[in-house]
């Protein structure tokens, strides 16, 4: 069995640390709106064409498509969010864990790649004392950048 490269192990540790650290005390409709608007503002500041979604359970609480995006980004959001819903971990972490095993999510998950995408950009919304209650997701940038935008927004949201 192959041992994963140190850099992929470091990435997994960093992604797991983000999920432990970025936890909410609650998630109201207003919280979802504020988080989604914050991401949209940050994306506009960066000149990033992204689609943003915030969900709690099966309900979409926020959706925004910035100029330069398409319906394809909506589909990517849904596919990434399904990964978070299934694994209760960020879509980037799930995909990275498969790569660390020397395979890919598409090859080894046995899930339909038309419905699931373990690419960066969807992050679990974990409420302390409750667990994962929803997802926040971005689509439109390379996967590491999608993930980084969501993490930066959650850090700023939690600091406010």
What's the whole-number mean pLDDT along residues 39-54? 98
What's the whole-number mean pLDDT along residues 49-53? 98
Q: Which residue has the higher pLDDT, 6 or 82?
A: 82
- The pLDDT of residue 58: 87
- The pLDDT of residue 3: 62
Confidence check: pLDDT of 2 > 80 = no
Answer CATH for 6-159 from 3.30.450.150, 1.20.120.450, 3.40.50.2300, 3.40.50.720: 3.30.450.150
- pLDDT, one tens digit per residue, over 105-116 is 999 999 999 999
Confidence check: pLDDT of 1 > 60 = no
- pLDDT, one tens digit per residue, over 66-104 is 999 999 999 999 999 999 999 999 999 999 999 999 999
- The pLDDT of residue 63: 98
Give the chain as a DSSP string: -PPPPHHHHHHHHHHHHHHHH-EES---HHHHHHHHHHHHHHHHHHT---EEEEEETTEEEEEEE-TT--HHHHHHHHHHHHHHHHHSS-HHHHHHHHHHTTS-HHHHS-S-TTT----TTEEEEEETTTEEEEEEEEESS-HHHHHHHHHHHHHHHHH-
- The pLDDT of residue 93: 98
- The pLDDT of residue 155: 98
Confidence check: pLDDT of 39 > 80 = yes
């Amino acid at each position: 069995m192959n041992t994963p490269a140190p850099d992929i192990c470091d990435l997994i540790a960093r992604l797991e640390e983000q999920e432990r650290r970025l936890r909410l005390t609650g998630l109201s409709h207003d919280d979802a709106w504020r988080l989604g608007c914050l991401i949209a503002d940050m994306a506009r500041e960066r000149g990033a064409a992204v689609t943003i979604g915030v969900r709690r359970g099966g309900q979409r609480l926020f959706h925004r498509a910035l100029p330069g995006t398409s319906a394809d980004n909506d589909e990517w959001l849904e596919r990434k969010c399904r990964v978070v819903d299934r694994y209760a971990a960020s879509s980037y972490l799930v995909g990275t864990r498969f790569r660390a095993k020397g395979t890919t999510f598409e090859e080894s998950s046995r899930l339909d790649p038309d419905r699931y995408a373990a690419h960066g950009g969807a992050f679990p919304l974990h409420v302390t004392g409750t667990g994962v209650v929803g997802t926040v997701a971005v689509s439109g940038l390379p996967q590491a950048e999608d993930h980084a935008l969501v993490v930066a927004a959650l850090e700023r949201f939690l600091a406010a």
